[in-house]
Amino acid sequence: MPILTDERGHLSYTVTGDGPPVVLVHAGVADHRMWDAVVPGLAERHTVVRYDLRGFGDSPPPAGPFSETDDLRLLLDHLGHERVRLVGASWGGRVAVEFALAHPERVCSLALLAPPSPEYDWSAEMVAYDEAETAALAAGDLDAAVRVNLDMWLRGPAREWEDVDPALAGRLRASVRTALMNQDVVDEHSRDGAAGDIATIAVPTLVGIGGLDNADFQDIARRYAAGIPGATLVEFPTAAHLVALDAPGELTAALVPFLAR
């Protein structure tokens, strides 16, 4: 993968296709590969940029304070893209929102797939997940922490493992492991997370949610769709939290006409 180097380390990225640029920002338990099944359909019409956030995939954890919003701006400058269409999944959706709030002149449209909200009052189920992950990591059991995350983010609360394509867990496991290994360093150096008013977002916005996702994220998605002027809510009935893995065909079919606007 090509890399963009700075004093904090480097960002790894890929570029596929030709046309108006689209940037795909991965979830916090994944890396750029989560979009593998979506890229071919988008690359027929667009230059598709994917990158690994710091501490994920092939991007090492940061060597000092950093901002994911600034990292995205630096990458766009490096690639020569003044304005882009942004597609973000889960934590990547929040990165996309914060970038659109900080640099509205550089965003043509937003597609947000199950983004979190910094002000949300999480349910007992989500608190229990966080406590289980924390306990596993405190005990030095990284394998257990990976299983906790695969249960929450891939299987989800509404189905059993036999209902999930077994290849997906195999593809995601290494990404989750890398994210967990690096999360303390990433959290220590991150300077993101400032709240902003989503009502000021003035570009076409699509908010997607898996029909099998956690109830908290179902609620958050509807709040984003209601709070961003003119936003459209799209539900993917067969998907849990990671729509790009569970329903890549349906996601591509929704994104292609939206991105063409």
141 occurs within a structural domain: no
98: in domain: yes
Q: If you write DSSP's letter for every residue of the chain in order, what string do you get?
A: --EEEETTEEEEEEEES-SSEEEEE--TT--GGGGTTTHHHHHTTSEEEEEPPTTSTTSPPPSS-B-HHHHHHHHHHHHT-SSEEEEEETHHHHHHHHHHHH-GGGEEEEEEES---TT----HHHHHHHHHHHHHHHTT-HHHHHHHHIIIIII-TTS-GGGS-HHHHHHHHHHHHHHHHHHHHHHHHB-------GGG--S-EEEEEETTS-HHHHHHHHHHHHHSTT-EEEEETT--S-HHHH-HHHHHHHHHHHHT-
Whether 13 is in a domain gets the answer yes
Domain membership flag for residue 233 = yes
Residue 162 domain-assigned (yes or no): no
Q: What is the pLDDT along the chain (261 residues), one digit of tens a residue?
A: 999 999 999 999 999 999 999 999 999 999 999 999 999 999 999 999 999 999 999 999 999 999 999 999 999 999 999 999 999 999 999 999 999 999 999 999 999 999 999 889 999 999 999 999 999 999 999 999 999 999 999 999 999 999 999 999 999 999 999 999 999 999 999 987 666 899 999 999 999 999 999 999 999 999 999 999 999 999 999 999 999 999 999 999 999 999 998
Q: Does 125 reside within a domain?
A: no
List the domain range (segments joined by +) for residue 47: 3-120+189-259
Residue 28 lies in a domain: yes
Tell me the CATH number at 72: 3.40.50.1820
155 within domain boundaries: no
Domain count, the chain: 1
